[in-house]
A and B are shown apart, each in its own frame.
Chain A
């Protein structure tokens, strides 16, 4: 039996496989497919202060080895989450991480401080990298002083484990990782989606209602892997890697690059059992290679 337990700062996970926000709803969508208690954690769909309807249809375009989305943070707001969703998700017997969003620092802090009061939630993921909202989101994640300001403010509003989700849409992601580390982040997760677009040549129109959207899937994996490797060797806090992870081999590459845990996103849409397949595959890899613990391969890249 191999040891899959990982520590993400104060957050302890039974295994290093989490679901990526926005690809797993609030968990119940996957109850028919998998035993949710086997997951390292569920990062729930992004939550804002007020309800958001999201963007008009079409919100999705398939691209080679990936997809673009422009959902626009559709959610019912933090108060609805606290009242109706929280009591349900805590029954899953896995760590629930709330993905926190806002159009302003005040809104981020409002959501974070409300989540702080929820006893069973031990961590938030501060989303400063959503490419699909006009205000907030990626603006904070692509302007370093703003990233510092929002992280500092949320750090004061939130007492438990603070994970900051970084945008890859920057020249030097290491600068942002170090900035949020110094501003009080307990860990960083990367990468969010890449801003991209698709055009229908027949109709001469954009494929998405918002023209641009966020690219995810295997198409982004090599870039995500490179960014995780760069960040992992430049910060002291744990790094959570994601970007196009479809199977256990992909996940192991992220651990070798320095990720302490990973998130599985778009893969869930094609294979709703992807997370479980990945957990099983990681355990098998460790066993076959005579490792006793997942922690032995974190950052074990041989250059």
Chain B
């Protein structure tokens, strides 16, 4: 977790938007790294990013010391749209849960909803701040090794296998294979579903045209500007 304070105040950020973080002092990385906004506090002027160490860039970020200055470009990208009717399920996998905390809080506070969370992890040690999610709504957890909650993947959890139609909208973020499966379940039950994609980005603001995703109506479009949030119906992979 990287908690950052801005002396200039925090601009308005919507759930699903992301920040491009500059990596200082790394001999091997070059580009910024995109991260979903995990939490925002406008009174404290802070925002939080949830960062999993996967490569040289994130390893360098882990070395950031308290009070060090970090260069961010934010808020970037589009955002999740609220449901037309209540009863929403937020499905996250691993660090893909990051935008869902912010989204859940937003839906609860601005739209008076009681979102439910379904979150999958490889093992119990990787569970992210369960108590914090529980302050927003009911939390269902799966672990692949069965060390906590339901054993298996999120798509095997009863909350989504038994009568998913009770949900009017599903929001999901996590590994692509998980989002595709969740999107499939939503599609087969006629449930509106939004996903947050994590494509490789050069810039994050529409200039380099590297982070494209194939869509039904518009062909290849930028994940950074026209996403990262997409309705699964608009994506080619949902078909």
Binding site for B on A (CB under 8 A): 22-25, 29-30, 32, 45, 53-54, 56-67, 69, 71, 74, 217-218, 268-270, 272
CA of A66 to CA of B208, assembled, Å: 14
- Pick the contact of B206: A29, A62, A67 (CB < 8 A): A29
Name the B residues within 8 Å of A30 (CB-CB): 205, 207
Q: Which residue of A58, A65, A71 contacts B209 across the interface (Cβ within 8 Å)?
A: A71
| Contact flag A57-B29 (CB < 8 Å), given A69-B208, A269-B207 | no
Using Cβ atoms and an 8 Å threshold, which residues of chain B touch A54?
A: 209, 212, 220
Offer 30 A-B interface pairs, CB within 8 angstroms, sorted by A.
A22-B209, A29-B205, A29-B206, A29-B207, A30-B207, A54-B220, A57-B199, A57-B200, A57-B212, A58-B200, A59-B211, A61-B200, A62-B29, A62-B30, A62-B31, A64-B28, A65-B30, A66-B30, A67-B202, A69-B208, A74-B220, A268-B203, A269-B31, A269-B32, A269-B202, A269-B203, A269-B208, A270-B30, A270-B203, A272-B203
Roughly how many angstroms separate A22 CA and B72 CA in the complex, as a whole number?
Answer: 23
Contact B30 A217 (CB under 8 A): yes
Taken together as a complex, chains A and B put the C-alpha atoms of A215 and B220 apart, in Å, by 22
B53 at the interface (CB under 8 A from A): no
- Chain B window 118-160, contacts with chain A (Cβ cutoff 8 Å), 1 for yes, 0 for no: 0000000000000000000000000000000000000000000
| Contact B207–A67 (Cβ < 8 Å) | no
Count, A-B residue pairs, CB within 8 A = 85
B97 to chain A, nearest CB (A): 24
Among B28, B199, B209, which residue has the most Cβ atoms of chain A within 10 A? B209
Q: Once bound together, how far apart are the Cα atoms of A189 and B203, in whole Å?
A: 24
CB contacts (< 8 Å) of A74 on chain B: these are 209, 212, 220
Shortest beta-carbon distance, B41 to chain A, in Å? 24
Contact with A along B66-98 (1 / 0, CB 8 A): 000000010000000000000000000000000
Do B210 and A69 touch across chains, with their CB atoms under 8 A apart?
yes
A62 to chain B: which residues have CB within 8 Å?
Answer: 29-31
In angstroms, Cα B203 to Cα A59, docked, is: 13
Distance in angstroms from B186 CB to nearest chain A CB is: 23
Q: Which A residues are in CB contact (< 8 Å) with B199? A: 57-58
The yes or no answer to B181 lying at the interface (CB within 8 A) is no
The smallest beta-carbon distance between A243 and chain B, in angstroms, is 15
8 Å CB contact of A60 from B207, B210, B214, B220: B210
Contacts A54-B220, A69-B202 given; indicate if A59 touches B209 (C-beta within 8 A).
yes
Q: Which residues of B contact A53 (CB under 8 A)?
A: 219-220
Least CB distance, B43 to chain A, in whole angstroms: 26
Q: Tell me if B22 counts as interface (CB < 8 A to partner A).
A: yes
Query: Which residue in chain A gives the minimum CB-CB distance to B212?
Result: A57
The complex places the Cα of A59 from the Cα of B206 at a distance, in Å, of 14
* Interface status of B179 (Cβ within 8 A of chain A): no
Given that A53-B220, A56-B214, A62-B29 are contacting pairs, would A270 and B22 also be in contact in the complex, using a CB cutoff of 8 Å?
yes
How many angstroms between the C-alpha atoms of A30 and B206 in the bound complex? 9
Whole-angstrom distance between the Cβ of B101 and the nearest chain A Cβ: 27
Chain A positions within 8 Å of B205 at CB level: 29-30, 32, 272
Is A270 a contact of B212 with CB atoms below 8 Å? no
Q: How far is the CB of B62 from chain A (nearest CB, A)?
A: 18
Which residues does chain A contribute within 8 Å of B170, judged by CB atoms? Answer: none
Residues of chain B contacted by A63 (CB below 8 angstroms): 30
Q: Cβ of B213 < 8 Å from any Cβ of A?
A: yes
Measured CB to CB, the closest approach of chain B to A51, in angstroms, equals 9
Nearest 9 CB-CB pairings of A with B: A60-B210, A269-B203, A29-B207, A29-B206, A25-B207, A59-B210, A269-B202, A71-B209, A60-B202
